[in-house]
Amino acid sequence: MLKWNAAIKILHMLTKLIKIFSAKPNILAMLKHGQKFIDVFLRSGMPVLDKVFRHKKEEVLNLLKTLQHSTRMLHHICSHSKAVCDVSLIAHVPVMKRSLESFVYRVKAMLTLHNCQDAFWIGNLKNRDLQV
């Protein structure tokens, strides 16, 4: 749990840095590696959270909240990639969107399983630029 918490904080810092350093190579790296991070978290991190949820509910919810900020920024990066019409960036968007969608449904399933649906709300994300 501690390692996942540290990894998610690092991802959160990296996504915040994209607002400042929004050059194409940085965005491309975030699309490639952010998607891999989400996939690894789904495979390895979510089972850990499932096991410790009953005992450390607040910690798990805080961890998911921090990760939610990063996934929201990844969504904004996808929107930005489509807006600038760069083919090398757009190629990574469908895979990233699929990973983000899997993450949302997996978290919703975990919270439903533990009877904690009020901690989760699905809304429509606005297509914003990277500076918001």
Q: Are 40 and 48 in contact (CB under 8 A)?
A: no
Q: In the chain, where are the structural domains located?
A: 2-20+39-119
The DSSP-derived string for 22-34 is --HHHHHHHHHHH
Instruction: Look at residue 132 and tell me whether its pLDDT is greater than 60.
Output: no
As a whole-number percent, the residues of the chain with pLDDT over 90 amount to 61
Are the CB atoms for 73 and 15 separated by under 8 Å? yes
Write the pLDDT tens digit of every residue in 10-56. 999 999 999 899 899 999 999 999 999 999 999 999 999 999 988 99
pTM of this prediction?
Answer: 0.86
User: How large is the average pLDDT for residues 79-95?
Assistant: 91
DSSP sequence for 46-80? HHHHHHHTTT-HHHHHHHHHHHHHHHHHHHHHHHH
